[in-house]
Amino acid sequence: MKTAEIAQRYLDYFEKNDHTIVPSASLVSDDPSILFTIAGMVPFIPYLTGVVPAPYPRAADLQKCIRTNDIEEVGKTARHGTFFQMLGNWSFGDYFKEGAISYAWELLTSSESDGGLGFAERDLWVTVYEDDDEAAALWQRIAGLPAERIQRMGRADNFWTTGQPGPAGPCSEIYFDRGPAYGADGGPAVDDNRFLEIWNLVFMQNSIDNVRSKTEFDIVGELPNKNIDTGMGLERVAFLKQGVENMYETDQVRPVLDRASELSGRRYGADHEDDVRFRIIADHVRSSLMLLSDGVTPSNEGRGYILRRLMRRSVRAMRLLGVEEATFPALFAASRDAMKESYPVVETDWERLSAYAFAEEETFLRTLSAGSTILDTAVEKTKASGGATLAGDEAFLLHDTYGFPIDLTLEIAQEAGLGVDRAAFDALMQEQRQRAKADARSRKRAIADVSVYREFRALGETTFTGYTDLETETRVLGVLVDGQATGRAAEGQIAEVILAETALYAESGGQVADRGTIVGPGYELEVLDVQRPVAGLVSHTVEVTRGEVGVDQPATTIVDAANRRAAQQAHSATHLVHAALRDTLGKGATQAGSLNRAGYLRFDFTWGQALSPATRSEIEEIANNAVRDNLEVTTRVLSLEEAKSAGAVALFGEKYGDTVRMVDIGGPWSRELCGGTHVARSAEVGLISLVGESSVGASNRRVEALVGLDAFRELAAERALVAELTSALKTPKEQLPARIAELTASLKAAEKKIAAFEARALAERVPALAQAAERIGAVNLVAQSIGSVGSADDLRSLAASVRERLGAEPAVVVLTGESGDRVLAIVATNEAARAEGAKAGTLVKTVLERLGGRGGGRDDMAQGAGTDAASVPAALDAVRAALRSA
C-alpha cells in the first residue's frame, strides 16, 4: 500500500465520520518560538488550549513536520528522520475516549477492501496511563483486547502536557508487534524496538499546575471541555504496510536512495557505513525539497541554515560514496517524482525549487574542493604529532576563508578519530560577529592606511540613489577582504564591496546604515554595514551568503523597504523631538549626539539637570502635536552660508562641505542640516512615546523614544497590563499603586508564615527519618531523598535534628532535596561516627560526584549542590559503599 494511499484512506475514513479535513499547515511555523512545525498538533494548539475557539467540532489532517534535533542520528536507526508526516484526528469538546478508541481500532483493523488499513488484531498492543481505568476498560470492551495486551505506563510515557500549566491529559498508544526477529516478547514495556508505536491518542481532560518537570506537576482539576488529539506516524505505518525494514525504504523515500546507489555504483545493503550514507541522502534530499516548497531558501541563519545544513550533509554523503560531481539534478528529480502525488507543488514549482537546490550544490562543491584538501592536511598533521584535537583556529580558517561549515569539520574530524577545539572556534566566531554585526561604529574595520581605497575613489564619488529609489542597478568596482583588495570573495566570507551607485544609506547624521542585500548573477550578499571610509566613497560590508562576487560583475542593491521606512520615521521623529526640546527648554538645549534606527530614537543634548515628569510630558505632547498637524517635510540643497542664514541647526559631529542639504519640517520650526532620509509629511511618523530620560555625563542628558508601531505596541502592552491588573485586583486603575503596596505587604507576611509552616513540617519528619536508619558496619546511616525543599538552610537544619535524634552511637545523616533545578545535598556526622573514620567533607564529595556538582565543608557538616536528580539513588548507594569499605 503506497504512502499516499494510506494517507487518503485515513482522511476518507474520518471525512465519512463527520470530520472536517484540514489542509496541512506550512513547515514554517507561525509560532515565533520554534523555526518549524515540529509536531502534528502545532497548528491546533490555539484550539486545544482554548485561546481561539475551534472553527469545527472535529477535524482530521495530514500535517507536514520537520525535526532536526537528532540530525546526527538520521540513517542510523529506523526511526530518525527530519521530514515526516503526521496523520491526526481531533475533537474539540465533541467525542472523547470512547470515540477516539473506536475510530482508531476500526480504521486499523478493518480490511483493506473495506477502506481500512488491514492490520491483524493479534499484532496490536496498547498502553494506557497507569491510573486510566476508563481507557483500559474501553479497550477491552471495544477492541476485545485481553488484559495482558493492555499495558499501564507512568507519566514519562503516557501523560501529555505542554510543559506549562494548563491543559493536559493521559495518553493511550497503539503498538504493532514486528515479531520475534526484532526483539523480546512481552509488549512495549519490554521492547519498543520489536513493538513499534504507530498511533498516540491523547485524552486532554485535565488541568495541571505547579509544573516542576515532565513528570512532576499537580493535576488540579478536569477541563470543562475535553479534547482529543491523536497522531499516527505515516512513515511508520507505511514501512509496516509495505513490508520493508524502515522509513527510508518506503515508496516516498526509497527512489532517492536507489538513485544515489546508481550514481555511486555501490549497492544498498552491502555495507553498514554506506547504508547510513544512503539513508542520510534519501532523508535529507526529501526534507530539503519540502522545505524549499514552503518558501525556505538556503542561508546562514535560522531556517535557511537548517536547509543549507541538510543539503550540504547530502553532498558530503555522496562524496563519501565516491561521487564528486553534482548529483542534485538526479536526486531531487527522484524525490520530486516520489512526492508529487501527495504534494503537487513540488512538480508545479519545480523550476524555482531546482534552481535553488542546484545552485547550492554547485557552490558547496567548490567549497568542498578547496576546504577538504586543507582539512585533510590539518587532520594528518594533527595525527602525526600525536594530537587528539584539531585546533580551533584551523577550523575557523576553514569556515571563515573557505566557507567550510563547522558541522562538516566536526564530522570529518570525528571520522578520523579526532576532536575539535570547539571552545577556541566559538571564541574566534564571536570575535568575528563582534566585528561584523555589532553596533555600526564598532563593526567598522580598523584600517590605519586608507590608501587601499584610493584607486576606487579615483573613479569618482559613489552615487547615492536612495532618496528616491530602493533598488539600483550598478556594477562592482572593488572587493576587499581583511583590508586588502582581493578582487573577489567566496561564500561564507566577510568582505567590503565598492559599487558605482547604491540605494543603501551609509551611516551618518545619527541614522544607522540600511539593511538589505546586493545580488548579481550567481551570488547574493547580506549587507552588514554601509560606511563612508573616505569622503565621497561608500563601502558595503557584506557576508557572501551565496556564490562568489567579483570585480566588474553587475550588481543590484536592494534596500529592506520596511526597515528603511521605519528608520525614516525615527529620523524625522528625532527632528521633531529636537524642536520640541528647544521649544520647552530654550536654545541652550543644543544637540550633543543622536541615534535613530527602525522604531527607536536616542537624542543627547546639553542640559544640567534631570527633566521633570511634567517637562517630559510637555516635550512629548509638542512632538506629537507636530505629527497630528501633518507638517510638510521638504529638502533643499544650498550653500552652507545660505543654510546658516536661514537658521538651520547643524548636527553634532558632522562635517559639512560648501553645499549642504537642509531639511524643514513645518518650515523654520524644525530646520536642520541633514543628509538622512525622511518621511514626506510628519503624520507618517506616527506615535512618539518618550520611554526614558537619563544622564550621560556632566551637563549632558539623553532622551529615548519609541516611534510608530513600536511606540503603539509599547503603549498597548502597558494598557493591557493595567487592564489585566485592574481586572485581577478588582481595583480602579487610579487606586492600583495603593492596592499593590497593600498586596506586597500581605505577601511578605504570608511568606513568613509559610516559612514557619515548612520548618514545622520538616521538623515533624525527624522521627520517621531517624526510624529509617540502617546499620552499615559500626555506623547508623540515614540516607534519604526528601523531595522538594525550600533552601539549603532548611535541609541542613533537618539533618542536624536527625543526627541529634540518633543519639550518641556512631551516626551519619545524608539527605538530598530538590530546590528549583538543583539537587541539594547535606552530610552530617556525630563525634562517634567521626571516630570511626566517617567524615562529612569526604562523604559529601562522594555524593556530589554522582550528582554532577561540587561542595565541601567540615568533618561534622558538609554540603553542596548538583544538577542530576536522576542519580540521587546512585549517590546514596555510593555513600553506603564508602561506609562499608571504611
Q: How many domains does the chain divide into?
A: 5
Residue 739 has pLDDT above 80, yes or no: yes
Q: Which range of residues forms the domain containing residue 167?
A: 3-244
Query: Rounded CA gap, 100 and 510, in Å?
Result: 62
Q: Single out the residue in 710, 736, 754 at which a domain terminates.
A: 710
pLDDT of res. 761: 78
Query: Rounded CA gap, 367 and 492, in Å?
Result: 9
Q: Are 687 and 592 in the same domain?
A: yes
Regarding predicted confidence, which is higher, 28 or 681? 681
Q: Does 540 appear as a known binding residue?
A: no
> Is residue 124 within 8 Å of residue 176, measured between CB atoms?
yes
Query: Rounded CA gap, 46 and 48, in Å?
Result: 6
Average pLDDT, the chain: 88
Q: What percent of the chain has a predicted confidence (pLDDT) above 70?
A: 94
Residue 126 has pLDDT above 90, yes or no: yes
Q: Average pLDDT of 361-388? A: 80
* β pairing state of 218-233 and 58-66: unpaired
DSSP string for residues in 759-784 = HHHHHHTHHHHHHT-EEETTEEEEEE
pLDDT of res. 282: 95
Q: Are 53 and 163 in the same domain?
A: yes
pLDDT of res. 450: 61
Q: What is the pLDDT of residues 525-560, one digit of tens each?
A: 999 999 988 778 899 999 999 999 999 999 999 999
Q: What CATH number is attached to the domain comprising 487?
A: 2.40.30.130
pLDDT of res. 447: 30
Which residues on neighbouring strands pair with residue 705, listed in sequence order?
601, 690
Residue 439 has pLDDT above 50, yes or no: no
Q: Are 285 and 422 in the same domain?
A: yes
Q: Does 272 appear as a known binding residue?
A: no
pLDDT of res. 400: 66
Q: Are 544 and 667 in the same domain?
A: no
pLDDT of res. 42: 86
Q: Does 674 appear as a known binding residue?
A: yes
Write the CA distances from 171 to 7, 212, 231, 375, integer angstroms: 23, 20, 11, 49
Q: Indicate whether 623 belongs to any domain.
A: no
Q: Are 288 and 180 in the same domain?
A: no
Most confident option among 222-236, 292-306, 379-393:
222-236
Q: Are 138 and 194 in the same domain?
A: yes
pLDDT of res. 54: 85
Q: Average pLDDT of 721-735? A: 91
Q: Single out the residue in 215, 244, 273 at which a domain terminates.
A: 244
Q: What percent of the chain has a predicted confidence (pLDDT) above 90?
A: 56
Lowest mean pLDDT among 73-82, 187-196, 265-274: 73-82
Which residues on neighbouring strands pair with residue 601, listed in sequence order?
596, 705
Q: Are 195 and 73 in the same domain?
A: yes
Residue 449 has pLDDT above 50, yes or no: no
What backbone torsions phi and psi does residue 289 show, to the nearest 5 degrees? -60, -45
Q: What is the pLDDT of residues 331-367, one digit of tens each?
A: 999 999 999 999 999 998 898 788 889 988 988 887 7
pLDDT of res. 316: 87
pLDDT of res. 401: 59
Regarding predicted confidence, which is higher, 747 or 416? 747
Q: What CATH number is attached to the domain comprising 41?
A: 3.30.930.10
Residue 458 has pLDDT above 80, yes or no: no
Q: Are 211 and 102 in the same domain?
A: yes
Q: Indicate whether 726 belongs to any domain.
A: no
Residue 411 has pLDDT above 80, yes or no: no
pLDDT of res. 812: 93
Q: Single out the residue in 412, 429, 446 at which a domain terminates.
A: 429
Lowest mean pLDDT among 382-396, 592-606, 831-845: 382-396
Q: Are 150 and 188 in the same domain?
A: yes
Residue 443 has pLDDT above 60, yes or no: no
Q: Indicate whether 534 belongs to any domain.
A: yes
pLDDT of res. 586: 86
> Is residue 850 within 8 Å of residue 833, measured between CB atoms?
no
> Is residue 573 within 8 Å of residue 685, measured between CB atoms?
yes
Q: What CATH number is attached to the domain comprising 786?
A: 3.10.310.40
> Is residue 177 within 8 Å of residue 193, measured between CB atoms?
no
Write the CA distances from 639 to 116, 443, 642, 661, 874, integer angstroms: 84, 33, 5, 9, 83
Residue 381 has pLDDT above 60, yes or no: yes
Q: Indicate whether 564 belongs to any domain.
A: no
* β pairing state of 419-420 and 389-390: parallel
Q: Indicate whether 213 belongs to any domain.
A: yes
Q: How confident is the model at residue 659 (pLDDT cuts 50, 70, 90)?
A: confident
Q: Is 522 left (phi over 0), alpha (psi -120 to 50) or beta?
A: left
Residue 446 has pLDDT above 60, yes or no: no
> Is residue 47 within 8 Å of residue 58, measured between CB atoms?
no
Q: Are 365 and 396 in the same domain?
A: yes
Q: Average pLDDT of 482-501? A: 92
SS3 readout for 140-169: HHHHCCCHHHEEEECHHHHEEECCCCEEEE
Q: Are 772 and 688 in the same domain?
A: no
Q: Indicate whether 461 belongs to any domain.
A: yes
Q: Are 467 and 596 in the same domain?
A: no
Q: How confident is the model at residue 657 (pLDDT cuts 50, 70, 90)?
A: low
Q: Does 578 appear as a known binding residue?
A: no
Q: How confident is the model at residue 442 (pLDDT cuts 50, 70, 90)?
A: very low
Q: What is the pLDDT of residues 872-884, one digit of tens each?
A: 999 999 999 989 8
Q: Indicate whether 721 belongs to any domain.
A: no
pLDDT of res. 129: 96
Q: Average pLDDT of 431-452? A: 47
Query: Rounded CA gap, 838 and 412, in Å?
Result: 50
Q: Indicate whether 858 belongs to any domain.
A: yes
